[in-house]
Structure 1
Amino acid sequence: MHDHSVTELPSLRRQKILLILERDGKVMASELSQHFAVSEDTIRRDLAELDNAGLVQRVHGGALPRPKDSGKDYFTRLEESDEVKVRLAQLAAQKVEDGQIVLFDSGSTALQVACSLRADIQITAVTAAPMTAIALSEYKGVKVILAGGQLNPRTMSASGHEAVRMLAGIKADLAFTGVCAIHPEVGVTSLHFDEVPVKQALLDSAARVIAVTTADKLGAVEPFVVASCTRLHTLITERHVASGSVEDYRRLGIVVEQLPD
């Protein structure tokens, strides 16, 4: 399926690269160079332009999709808690059982899970996110522990040594994490460098980690690596997944649960 229109406009070629990326979940410069019958340098320039426009994430030898909502602030993401996110959170919240110690990551997804718990649930909840702590405090049977430190206004969560040390000192049954991006090979990645140690402490402190994510974050990569996918036990996502097959995650031993139609 070669495309030999060498005189093709760069803008048209870049549009086609985005379509191939959407289909395959990853593109390699060497393969694109053959496909379009242009030099690898030309393709690298295309990928650099697409990266500058925020449309792809450059990686060694090629490019990956960029998550659609990366870089938006916490409150913008919160307002966008659409029906899909609510349904994902409700499915995730069913995993919580009485008597458990449960860690809630920062972010709008984990907050949504906190708001979706059974009304009479009896757990100890731990979080570094004040708004999630406030939501959890509404439940009579929930004891809330808030990890402290400097508040990051982008993530509305505490970061730093104190938060990490406290999370590391807890042995929890369950942790809920919403992910900025997750890729089968690269792992769970974040847009924010300073939240990486807190996220790592959270994942390391839980016997079971449940990642809750919309489909656009699957197969995507952000600059800072948090952990390999093998740290996750369960991945809860949408029924229809565009980029990156859920089978890639199942092959890694992760239990993938998708919303019913």
Structure 2
Amino acid sequence: MSLSYNRHKRLVEIIQANGEVRIRDLMQRFNISEETARRDIKRLEQDGLVARVHGGAVATQQPKLLAISSRAVSERAEKSTIAEIALGLLKPGQNLFFGGGSTILSLASRISALPEMRVVTNMVDTAIAAAEGHRHRVVMLGGDFNVDFRTVSGFTALRTLREQQIDVAFIGVNAVHPNGVFDHEQVGQELAATLCEQARKIVILADHSKFGLSARYRILPHSAITAIITDRRPASDMLDKIEAAGVEVLYPQNRHNPALVST
């Protein structure tokens, strides 16, 4: 395990405890240069775990959500791999939907330098990340706010979503099963049903640990999904079942399909 990984993990723990960290404190605590300290903070900001401020960084998440941030650091490679593949599906002028979750947030954190797009989202942190650089128009859904996940849901959110025309919707899930994709919360089911009506394409972002699992609510059958992006090739039996339903599965060895980019 690399020194930088351990340092980043410890940095998240410090922010979890204190709510902020200063550059000078990082330099002294870890015996690193100012350049390295700033690079660490920038990397964690890309993962949606901190927000840079003058002289340091502050937490972007409430304490309950910060409790999972150490796990987010350990899964950084997987999320980065998925996000980089997803970038290949984006085109200038698209209308996008970004759902909640740290993998979607990782994607949103990477679009600031891309040509103008329109992003609709139900997650506060994703809206902030997508707006970075002031290139993209960002639409934040209204509704009932969940402080744990920093997302909105409910009648108002769904009503606003029904007013949108979405080219590609990117959503995260808790489980990828041979019978579809599943979530622990019913609100995910309601959101996905609305996206089936409003989005031309639905793309699932899920790391390899989600495959073969199930959860309480099936939010979509595979027949409603355009593509699933993951960080490694799924087991052959799982892959065969998903592809038989017409879903394109993208992973590092199979990361580009021109047909998915066309509108």
The structure with the largest alpha-carbon Rg is 1
Equivalent of residue 99 in structure 2, options 102, 105, 113: 105
Q: Which of 217, 222, 228 is the equivalent residue of 1:229?
A: 222
Aligned to 2:253: 260
RMSD: 2.0
SS in 2 for 1:260: coil
**Structure 1 alignment gaps of length 5 or more:** 1-72
Which amino acid counterpart does residue 247 of structure 2 have in structure 1? I
Aligned residues: 188
**Residue 191 in structure 1 maps to residue 184 in structure 2:** yes
* 1:235 positional shift: 1.1
Distance 2:197 2:174 in 1: 18
**Are 1:123 and 2:103 matched, yes or no?**
no
- Matched with 1:245 is 238
Q: Which amino acid aligns with 2:212?
A: G
Q: How far 1:242 moved relative to its partner? A: 4.8
RCO (CA 8 Å, sep 6+): is it higher in 1 or 2?
1
CA deviations over 1:151-203 (Å, ceiling 9, x no partner): 11232200110001111221110110111112122x12111123331233234
Look up the SS of the partner of 1:112 in the other structure.
Answer: helix
What amino acid is the match of 1:205? Q
Residue deviations 1:102-134, cap 9 Å, x none?
A: 000111111111112261321010001010000
Q: Decide which structure has greater helix share.
A: 2
User: Distance in 1 between the 2:196 and 2:106 partners?
Assistant: 19
Residues of 1 paired with 2:139 and 2:238: CA distance? Answer: 37
Please say if 1:170 is aligned against 2:164: yes
2:234 corresponds to 1:218 = no
- Cα displacement (A) at 1:236: 1.1
Question: What percent identity do the matched residue pairs reach?
Answer: 27
Runs of 4+ in 1 over 2 A off after TM superposition: 77-81, 193-196, 238-245
TM-score (norm 2): 0.66
Tell me the distance in 2 between the aligned counterparts of 1:162 and 1:226. Answer: 19
**Aligned partners of 1:216 and 1:243 also within 8 Å:** no
Equivalent in the alignment of 1:160:
154
Structure 1 CA distance for aligned equivalents of residues 213 and 120 of structure 2: 28
CA drift at 1:244: 5.3
Partner AA of 1:83 in structure 2: A
Question: Per the alignment, do residues 218 and 203 of structure 1 end up closer, same or farther by CA in structure 2, a change over 3 Å counting?
Answer: farther
